[in-house]
């Protein structure tokens, strides 16, 4: 499997998610540099207040199929961000 390096800072990526009755609810896969990685497990989920804009965002700590742990965020605007867990 190809290794894709993630920066410790957030970057916009494509995220496939489970769409329940509330809309996009949980990440199922992330696509980084054109390579799709399934989310093997969700370690934790929380809603957090964005310090800069004062808006809420959903934050998931996920383990990908290749063993890496990442943090996936979905902003109220619908933008997804992913960073390497530190």
65-66-69 Cα angle (round to 5): 85
Is residue 8 within 8 A of residue 83, CB to CB? The reply is yes
Is residue 6 within 8 A of residue 76, CB to CB? The reply is no
Is residue 4 within 8 A of residue 32, CB to CB? The reply is yes
Confidence of residue 28 (pLDDT cuts 50, 70, 90): very high
Confidence of residue 11 (pLDDT cuts 50, 70, 90): low
> Which range is least confidently modeled, 4-8, 9-13, 20-24?
4-8
Residue 18 has pLDDT above 50, yes or no: yes
- Provide CB contacts within 8 A for 16, sequence distance 6+: 27, 28, 29, 30, 31, 36
Q: What is the pTM (predicted TM-score) of this model?
A: 0.77
């Amino acid at each position: 499997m190809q290794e894709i390096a993630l920066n410790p800072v957030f970057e916009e990526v494509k995220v496939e998610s489970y769409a329940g009755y509330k809309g996009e609810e949980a990440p199922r896969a992330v696509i980084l540099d054109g390579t799709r990685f399934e989310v093997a497990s969700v370690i934790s989920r929380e809603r957090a207040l964005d310090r800069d804009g004062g808006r809420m965002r959903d934050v998931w700590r996920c383990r990908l199929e290749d063993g890496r742990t990442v943090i996936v965020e979905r902003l109220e605007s619908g933008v997804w961000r992913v960073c390497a867990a530190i």
